[in-house]
Amino acid sequence: MEFLVVIADILWENETVGELSQSPSVDVPLAYFGYNDSTPVKEVYLGTSFGGIIPPLIFPINDTTLDVSLMAPIINNSFLTLFAQMGFINKFDFYSSNALKTEIYFQNLLDNYYFRASYYANNGTIKEMDAYYVITAGADPMAVNITLKRVFEFDITDEVEWGVGIGDTIYLHSYEPSSGYGLVKLDVQGFNEEIYWSSNWTVQGEEWPMTFQNLNVIIAFWDGTQWLPGSPQVITAANNFYPMCFPLWK
């Protein structure tokens, strides 16, 4: 069976220069679609999802719009069934589609594993999805709980709100095993965007950059008679999708 393949390069928003930057991943296959009338499974769809199992990121459209009622059984009979038979993921034994929402849904009725994904009807690309399933490949099965949402703007810190402002002071009680209890003062200095690379979010097995907004303070310690100022520190960071905590001081 011959396949049509969708190939893409992966880019990321580099806010330090205000433009998209090329990642190491180039010529990444996003989807394979094939048809052979002489085989038992005539239509075959294989989605790579950047090295993961699901969800499919893009579907072929029928004429000018995506027909999820056609794609749901194709995904079930080729993509999901194949990976289940190969021992990569759990089996899904129920599927449905919703033309109004341009949505497909798959479920394991016994263990309640599922995945649901909606798509843009005009181009077949993913809109959002959520899933709970098990990767069964390897010595230890791994449960996966995932949520994905398509975004069209790269400013992912514009909705971050802090309960403090520049010039505010926060007092905290602290405890160190070597010195016992103490009093700590945090003087808020400001906020800035910074790109963090982390293995907590990976694509193609590579660490992936993500922009966070830092909360910067100067930490001071009370020695019983006076405040002993420390160095400026980032005590926490967040973006529109993730809160991210750091040690209070280094």
129 in Cβ contact with 93 (< 8 Å) = no
pLDDT digits 0-9 by tens, 92-138:
999 999 999 999 999 999 999 998 999 999 999 999 999 999 888 77
pLDDT digits 0-9 by tens, 59-90:
888 888 999 999 999 888 888 888 888 888 88
pLDDT digits 0-9 by tens, 25-57:
678 788 888 887 787 778 887 776 554 556 788
Calculate what percentage of the chain has a pLDDT beyond 90. 31
C-alpha separations of 53 from 192, 201, 222 in Å: 36, 16, 53
Please give the Cα distance from 63 to 67 (Å, whole number).
9
Q: What is the pLDDT of residue 207?
A: 65
Please give the Cα distance from 104 to 90 (Å, whole number).
17
Please give the Cα distance from 72 to 74 (Å, whole number).
5
pTM of the model: 0.71
* pLDDT interval class at 191 (50, 70, 90): very high
What does the pLDDT average to over 205-233?
Answer: 85
80 in Cβ contact with 106 (< 8 Å) = yes
Query: What tokens appear for 210 in the block?
Result: 């993500």
Is the bond preceding 55 in cis, omega lying within 30 degrees of 0? yes
According to DSSP, the β-strands at 94-98 and 126-135 are: unpaired
Q: What is the pLDDT of residue 132?
A: 92
pLDDT digits 0-9 by tens, 164-174:
999 999 998 87
